[in-house]
């Protein structure tokens, strides 16, 4: 999957590649788990009330992030936090365990032939879910993660919004962000990003500033990837801070409050 991701990103860009891979990965999932894709989140959350949090976490990793986010939002605050922590710390699961859970799901939601099973959770899995969950649930889960494991919480936060996701900001939000970003950081950060992101940035600055940034990028020459990632990290931190303060909007975030008019 890592190799496929690298090839696809070169061919169609980061975000299109991620969309294709998400669909591809979902096709690998067990048909038993696929029975859940059309189940109402409230009904699923009711099913999970009597399940062990680890079982709930495992099943949520088999749903697409949007569906998992909707189900997680329906759980109680304490269970939300417990399930999120278990997703974030989950590694490879035995196929035998998955088959047993699949059989239970098939018995409860319908019959379907089993297939080879493989699943992993981890920080990336919960980050994708939290990107789509409503803000109050996200805040509750992140606070609980920070109390339980600060390093893990930081890792999850770093994966929730990456530099290439700047294209999800509307023009007004980009302009607000750039007020808090140093030109040098921006020049370094743009050295290793997609043309889509560069276009988004240059569209929201004056021609003079755009020319200055491009000249600085050329003048600085080869740059260490670690320096680029550090600059991108500082900009991402500014995005998170401004979003928390309600000064910018990240399109595509889930939840009832994600209504833009």
Instruction: Tell me the two tokens of residue 51.
Output: 């399940």
Per-residue pLDDT tens listing for the chain (261 residues) = 677 777 778 888 888 877 777 766 655 544 567 667 767 788 888 888 888 899 899 888 888 888 888 889 888 888 999 999 999 998 877 778 877 887 777 777 664 333 333 445 688 788 878 877 776 777 888 888 888 888 888 888 777 777 888 998 999 999 999 999 999 999 999 998 889 999 999 999 999 999 999 999 988 888 888 889 889 888 988 998 898 788 988 775 544 444 444
pLDDT at residue number 168: 87
Best CA proximity match to 253, nearest among 78, 123, 130: 130
Pair 238, 180: CB distance under 8 Å: yes
pLDDT at residue number 112: 37
pLDDT at residue number 110: 62
Please give the model's pTM, rounded to 2 decimal places.
0.48
pLDDT at residue number 211: 92
Q: What angle in degrees, to the nearest 10, is found between the helix axes of 135-148 and 65-74?
A: 80
Q: All domains of the chain, ordered by start, with CATH?
A: 2-160 (1.10.220.30), 163-244 (1.10.220.30)
Residue 69's Cβ-side half-sphere holds a number of Cα atoms within 13 Å equal to 22
pLDDT at residue number 50: 80
pLDDT at residue number 254: 46
In this structure, how many other beta carbons lie within 10 angstroms of the beta carbon of residue 50? 7
């Amino acid at each position: 999957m890592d190799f496929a991701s690298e090839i696809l990103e070169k061919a169609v860009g980061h975000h299109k590649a991620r969309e294709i891979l998400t669909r591809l990965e979902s096709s690998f999932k067990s048909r038993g788990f696929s029975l859940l894709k059309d189940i109402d989140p409230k009904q699923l959350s009711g099913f999970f009330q009597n399940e062990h949090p680890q079982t709930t976490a495992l099943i949520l990793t088999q749903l697409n992030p949007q569906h998992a986010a909707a189900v997680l939002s329906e759980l109680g605050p304490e269970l939300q936090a417990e399930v999120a922590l278990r997703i974030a710390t989950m590694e490879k699961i035995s196929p035998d365990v998955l088959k047993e859970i699949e059989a239970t799901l098939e018995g409860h939601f319908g019959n379907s032939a089993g297939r080879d099973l493989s699943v992993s959770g981890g920080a990336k899995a919960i980050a994708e879910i939290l990107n789509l969950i409503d803000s109050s649930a996200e805040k509750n889960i992140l606070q609980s993660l920070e109390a339980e494991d600060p390093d893990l919480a930081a890792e999850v936060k770093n994966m929730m919004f990456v530099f290439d996701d700047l294209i999800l900001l509307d023009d007004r939000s980009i302009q607000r962000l750039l007020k808090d970003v140093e030109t040098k950081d921006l020049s370094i950060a743009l050295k290793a990003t997609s043309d889509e992101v560069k276009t988004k940035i240059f569209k929201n600055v004056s021609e003079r500033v755009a020319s200055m940034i491009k000249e600085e990028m050329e003048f600085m020459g080869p740059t260490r990837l670690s320096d680029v990632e550090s600059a991108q990290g500082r900009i991402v931190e500014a995005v998170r801070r401004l979003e928390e303060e309600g000064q910018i909007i990240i399109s595509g975030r889930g939840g009832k409050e994600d209504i833009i008019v």
